[in-house]
Amino acid sequence: MTGRSPRRAAVAALALAGRAAAGPLIAAALVTALAGMGPAVAAWLSKLLIDGLAGATPASPARLAGLAAAAAAATGAALALGYAAGFLHRRAEAAIAHRAQAEIYQRVSGFGGLRRFEDPAFADELRLATDAAAEAPSVLTNFLFGLVRSVVTIGSLVGVVVAVWPPMAALLLVVTVFAVVAQLTVARRQADVARAVMATHRRRIAYQELLTDLRSAKEVRLYGLAGLFRDRMLGAMRTAVSAELRIQGRSAVVQGSLSGLGSVALAVGAGLVAYRIAGGELTPGDFALFLAAATAVQGALLGMVNSLQDAVRCTRLFGHYLNVAQAPDDLVEGTVRPGPLRTGIVFEDVWFRYDESGPWVLRGVDLVIPAGSSTGLVGRNGAGKSTLVKLLCRFYDPDRGRITWDGVDLRDLPLSWLRRRISATFQDFQTYELPVGENIALGDVETMHDKGRVVAAARAVGLHDTIEALPAAYDTMLSRIFVFDGSDDPGVQLSGGQNQRLALARSLLRTDADLLILDEPSSGLDPVAEHDLAEVIRRTREGRTGLHISHRLGTMRQADDIVVLADGVVVEQGTHDALLALDGQYAELFRLQAANYQAANYQAAEAVAG
Ligand SMILES: Nc1ncnc2c1ncn2[C@@H]1O[C@H](COP(=O)(O)OP(=O)(O)OP(=O)(O)O)[C@@H](O)[C@H]1O
C-alpha cells in the first residue's frame, strides 16, 4: 500500500479526534492555555519579591508576604490546572481510541473476500494501523495542547526576556531551529524502523503463538520443537530490538547535543545578565526573572520539539490507519436479488489462481449444479474442490469466466444476500471459544436465542445427549483457556469428531438457505456417526440444493450427480453407476478404496478362521 502525505494524515487524525471527543478536547485546550500562563505570572511575582527583598524597590513586609504567597499560589494553580487538563485529555484519549478501533474494525469486517487476509503486506498494515489508531490521534492532540501551552508560556515570557536582554531571544531561536530540524530527522527514521521491523515482529509473534497455542502444544512437545521455535522467536526479537536500539541511540545523541547547546546558551546569557547587574544596569530580581524565563522558554521549546517528534512519527504511522480505514472494497457488490434458487448454479469456463504469479488452480471449469439436486464433488488432494466452494461463496472472484445463480452473475448479487442463501460446513471448520449452545446458534444469529432450534440441530447430528451431559449443558464453555464474562467455569474441550458434528449442527440451523455445502463433513466421524449423517443430510437437504465433497466415495452413492475434478478441470460427470461404467478416474479411485476394505475384510476373515 502506498504512503500518504503527512499533512493529510495529520488532518485526518485530528478529524478523527474531533469526531470522537470534540467537547473534552475543547475543554482540555482552554484549561491548558490557562495553565500555560502560570510560569510568566510566577516569574514576574518572584522578580517583584526579590527586588523588594533586595531593597531595589521599596516594599512593606505585608506586600512582600503577599507577593511570596501569590508567587507560590500561581505555581500551584498552574500545576493544578495542568492535572485537570491531563484528566480531560485522558477522557478524550479513551473516546478517540474507542472510535478509532470501531472505525477500523468496521472496515476490516466489511471486506467481503479473503484475499486481504492472506496478504502479508496487509497483515503488517493492519498491525501498524491498530497501533496508530490507538496512539496517533491522542499524541497529535497532546502535541497541539503542548503547543497551545508552550505558545502561551513563551509568549508571556518572551517579552520579559527581551526586556532584560534582547539578544537572548535570538540565541534561543537559533537553538530551537536546530532542535526542530534534528528531531524531525530522528522522527522520520523511527517511523521507517517501525515499518522495517514489522515483518520481524510478525515472525516473532508467529513463533510466540506456536509456543503458547494449545493447538500446536502436542506436536511441539512430541517432536521437541520448543527449543527451535524459542530460538527463532528470540532471534527475531533480537533483530528487531537491535534495529530499534540503533535509532534510539542516534536519538539520544541528538537530544544530548541539544541539551548541551541549550545549557551553553543559558550559561552565556546568565553570565552577561550577572555582568550587567554588577554594572548597576539591572536589578537582582531581573536575574531571577531571566533565569526563570530562560529555563521555562527552553523547557517549553524542547518539550514542543519532543512532542513534535512523537507527532511526526504518529502522523506517519497514521497513514497506515488511513490505508486500512479507507481501503476500497475488495469485492464490488451487486444489487440484483433474484429470489430463491429455481434453475441452478452454473460455472462457465471458470479460471482462478490465488496469486497473479501463482499456478492456475481452476483452469476452465464448466459445471452445472441444478436446483434441488445433490451434486457430489470428488477428486484427488489439491484438485481444486475447496477452491471451487470458496468461489461459489464468493470469497474470491474468478479471474476468467463467471458463476451464475439462476442466470445472474454472482458479482451482480449483494454479498450479504448471497451468503444468506448458502449454508456450509467447511473442511477447516471452526470451533469458537464460546458456550456450546452459541457454537450452534452462530449458524443463524438472527434467531440466536431460540433454544428449541439449537437443541433440534444438536439432536439431528446426534450431539444432544453429549451436550446435556456437560457440566453446564448448552451453556458449557468450549475452552480451556478463555473464561467468559468473569465466570470461573473452566470449560471443556470436545473431541475432533464432536467438534465436526457441532459445525454440522451450525450449518443445519440455517434452514432457509437454498444451497447446503458440505466439504468433507464426515472426515472425523466414527462409522456409526457417518452412517447417521448420511440420513441427516438426506433429510435436511430435502428440497434444497446440495454440494457434497468427500474422499469417502461410498458416501457419494446417493448423490444425483457426481463431478470429478482433476488439475482444475471437470474430467468426469454422471451418476455413481454411470461413472463406474465409464471406467475412468472415479472408477479407479472407487475400486482402490473398495479394495482396501476388501483386503481388510479378508484379513479379518483369515484372523477369525484362525
Ligand atoms: N489460500 C490459498 N492460497 C494459495 N494457494 C492455495 C490456497 N488454498 C489452496 N491453495 C492451492 O490450491 C490448490 C487446490 O487446493 P484446494 O484446497 O482447492 O484442493 P482440494 O481439492 O480441496 O484438496 P483436498 O482434497 O486436499 O482438500 C492446491 O494446490 C493448494 O495448494
Model ipTM?
0.98
Q: Quick one: cell of 531?
A: 452412517
Mean per-residue pLDDT for 237-245? 87
- Please indicate whether residue 200 or residue 167 has the higher confidence score (pLDDT): 200
Confidence (pLDDT) at 179: 59
Radius of gyration of the chain (CA): 36
602, pLDDT greater than 60: no
Quick check: 171 and 142 in contact, CB under 8 A?
A: no
183, pLDDT greater than 70: no
Mean per-residue pLDDT for 118-146? 81
Is the backbone of residue 492 left (phi > 0), alpha (psi -120 to 50) or beta?
A: beta
162, pLDDT greater than 90: no
Confidence (pLDDT) at 3: 54
187, pLDDT greater than 80: no
Cα of 386 vs centre of ligand 1, distance in Å, is 7
Q: Strand 400-405 vs strand 344-352: parallel, antiparallel, or unpaired?
A: antiparallel
Ligand 1, atom 2, lies closest to the CA of 354
Mean per-residue pLDDT for 139-149? 80
Distance between CA 147 and CA 305 in Å, rounded?
9
Closest C-alpha among 369, 341, 345 to residue 562: 369
CB atoms within 10 A of CB 329: 12
Confidence (pLDDT) at 607: 58
The secondary structure of residue 196, as a DSSP letter, is: H
Q: Quick one: cell of 399?
A: 479471474
Ligand 1, atom 12, lies closest to the CA of 361
Ligand 1, from 118, 354, 520: best to mutate by most atoms within 8 Å of Cβ? 354
- Please indicate whether residue 488 or residue 361 has the higher confidence score (pLDDT): 361
Q: Where are the beta strands (DSSP E) in 120-159?
A: none
At 94-113, the pLDDT tens digits run 888 888 888 888 998 889 89
At 368-396, the pLDDT tens digits run 999 999 999 999 999 999 999 999 999 99
Distance between CA 517 and CA 318 in Å, rounded?
41
Q: What backbone torsions phi and psi does residue 350 show, to the nearest 5 degrees?
A: -85, 125
| Contact 361 CB / ligand 1 (< 6 Å) | yes
| Contact 118 CB / ligand 1 (< 6 Å) | yes
- Please indicate whether residue 592 or residue 606 has the higher confidence score (pLDDT): 592
| Contact 383 CB / ligand 1 (< 6 Å) | yes
CB atoms within 10 A of CB 494: 19
Q: Give the 3-state secondary structure of residue 430.
A: coil
CA 124 vs. chain centroid, Å, equals 9
Mean per-residue pLDDT for 538-561? 82
Q: At what angle do helices 496-508 and 527-541 cross, to 10 degrees?
A: 10
Distance between CA 487 and CA 494 in Å, rounded?
20
223, pLDDT greater than 50: yes
Mean per-residue pLDDT for 493-510? 88
Q: How many residues are there in the chain?
A: 610
- Please indicate whether residue 435 or residue 485 has the higher confidence score (pLDDT): 435
**In this predicted structure, which of 66-80, 187-201, 420-434, 450-464 has the lowest mean pLDDT?**
187-201
Q: Give the 3-state secondary structure of residue 337.
A: coil
Confidence (pLDDT) at 2: 46
| Contact 204 CB / ligand 1 (< 6 Å) | no
The model's confidence at residue 176, banded by pLDDT at 50, 70 and 90, is low
* Percent of the chain's residues with pLDDT above 90: 28
Ligand 1, atom 3, lies closest to the CA of 354
Distance between CA 419 and CA 524 in Å, rounded?
26
Q: Quick one: cell of 259?
A: 541539551
Residue 234 Cα distances to 197, 223, 226, 238, angstroms = 14, 20, 12, 6
Ligand 1, atom 5, lies closest to the CA of 354
Residue 484 Cα distances to 101, 365, 434, 448, 532, angstroms = 22, 46, 8, 18, 33
At 261-298, the pLDDT tens digits run 777 877 887 788 888 888 888 888 888 877 787 777 77
Strand partners, 403: 347
Q: Give the 3-state secondary structure of residue 522.
A: coil
- The atom of ligand 1 lying closest to the CA of 355 is 4
Ligand 1, from 115, 350, 386: best to mutate by most atoms within 8 Å of Cβ? 386
Confidence (pLDDT) at 438: 92
Ligand 1, from 385, 569, 571: best to mutate by most atoms within 8 Å of Cβ? 385
Q: Strand 561-566 vs strand 569-574: parallel, antiparallel, or unpaired?
A: antiparallel
At 387-430, the pLDDT tens digits run 999 999 999 999 999 999 999 999 999 999 999 999 999 988 88
1, pLDDT greater than 50: no
Distance between CA 357 and CA 362 in Å, rounded?
14
Cα of 392 vs centre of ligand 1, distance in Å, is 15
Q: Strand 344-352 vs strand 561-566: parallel, antiparallel, or unpaired?
A: unpaired
Q: What backbone torsions phi and psi does residue 584 show, to the nearest 5 degrees?
A: -105, -140
Closest C-alpha among 418, 420, 398 to residue 512: 420
- Please indicate whether residue 4 or residue 142 has the higher confidence score (pLDDT): 142
Who's near 329: CB < 8 A, 6+ residues apart?
A: 110, 111, 112
**In this predicted structure, which of 196-200, 382-386, 548-552 has the lowest mean pLDDT?**
196-200
The model's confidence at residue 311, banded by pLDDT at 50, 70 and 90, is confident
- Please indicate whether residue 177 or residue 57 has the higher confidence score (pLDDT): 57
Confidence (pLDDT) at 575: 92
Q: Quick one: cell of 184?
A: 524531525
The model's confidence at residue 348, banded by pLDDT at 50, 70 and 90, is very high
Cα of 383 vs centre of ligand 1, distance in Å, is 7
Cα of 547 vs centre of ligand 1, distance in Å, is 18
Cα of 382 vs centre of ligand 1, distance in Å, is 5
- Average per-residue pLDDT for the chain: 84
Confidence (pLDDT) at 197: 80
- Please indicate whether residue 145 or residue 365 has the higher confidence score (pLDDT): 365
Cα of 589 vs centre of ligand 1, distance in Å, is 20
167, pLDDT greater than 80: no
Confidence (pLDDT) at 100: 87
Ligand 1, atom 31, lies closest to the CA of 382
Who's near 495: CB < 8 A, 6+ residues apart?
A: none
605, pLDDT greater than 60: no
Distance between CA 16 and CA 98 in Å, rounded?
11
CA 88 vs. chain centroid, Å, equals 27
Distance between CA 54 and CA 52 in Å, rounded?
6
Quick check: 559 and 374 in contact, CB under 8 A?
A: yes
- The atom of ligand 1 lying closest to the CA of 384 is 18
Confidence (pLDDT) at 485: 53
Mean per-residue pLDDT for 564-591? 93
Cα of 361 vs centre of ligand 1, distance in Å, is 8
Environment class of 495 (CB within 10 Å of its CB; exposed 0-12, middle 13-18, buried 19+): exposed
Residue 148, CB-side half-sphere exposure with 13 Å CA sphere? 18
Confidence (pLDDT) at 296: 79
Ligand 1, atom 28, lies closest to the CA of 382
- The atom of ligand 1 lying closest to the CA of 565 is 21
Cα of 53 vs centre of ligand 1, distance in Å, is 87
Ligand 1, atom 29, lies closest to the CA of 382
Closest C-alpha among 240, 314, 231, 217 to residue 16: 314
Who's near 281: CB < 8 A, 6+ residues apart?
A: none
Cα of 113 vs centre of ligand 1, distance in Å, is 16
